[in-house]
Amino acid sequence: MSSPLRKLPLAAMALLAALALGACGDSHTRVTTGTYAGESGAQAPYLDVGPLTYEVQLSRELSTFDVEDSAYLQGLTPAQRKLEPGQEWFGVFMQVYNNSSAPHVASDNLTISDTQNNVYTPIVPAPTNAFAYRAGTIVPANGRLPELSTVAANGPTQGVVLLYKIQIVSLDNRPLELKIVDPFNAAETASAELDV
């Protein structure tokens, strides 16, 4: 005597398997913490803050003497460019996604802190810097930052950069943590450990 399952057509069995697998995990879970791991960005967390999703591509020290890094540091005033003794430039490269059908404003509150509670805010260069993250930028519906046709999107990291002046000692007080706050609801936050 044959079992009822043997009589089911192959397509119906495939459908049952797909439904069973689809029930494993929830694709709508909001992620608000993560750990960046590796220069490829393959393990970078997608952080949900309000209606937008932020993905850290890369974070590292920047050198004013490096050809690539000098492009990221363009548009700084002489006062902004000046580093005090014990300071260095640190860049966080990211992409921001808007998967909704309405435009939304990118966060204006993105800070870095170390384990000794030193907190750093980004330095914003002039609009001549094509790679800079701009707080308050409108991310279009179903769009992203940087926009696909821009220099930043086609650059080595494919992301916009946040520029920070940090104390070199903070590199000894790792992990560094990036915190992102929604511009309209301070209760909506996310954070990620940064790779240095």
Give 125-176 as a DSSP string.
Answer: --TT-TTB--TTPEEPTT-EES-TTSTTTTSSSSSEEEEEEEEGGGGTSPPE
At residue 23, what is the residue type?
A
State the Cα–Cα distance between residues 20 and 149, nearest whole angstrom. 40
Give pTM, 2 decimals: 0.79
pLDDT digits (tens, 9 = 90+) for 113-154: 999 999 999 999 999 999 999 999 999 999 999 999 999 999
Domain range summary for the chain, segments of one domain joined by +: 29-194
At residue 50, what is the residue type?
G
pLDDT of res. 125: 96
Instruction: Place 85 in a pLDDT band, splitting at 50, 70 and 90.
Output: very high
> Class assignment of domain 29-194?
mainly beta
pLDDT at 30 over 80: no
Cβ of 172: how many Cβ atoms within 10 Å?
10
pLDDT digits (tens, 9 = 90+) for 55-83: 998 899 999 999 999 999 999 999 999 99
pLDDT at 11 over 50: no
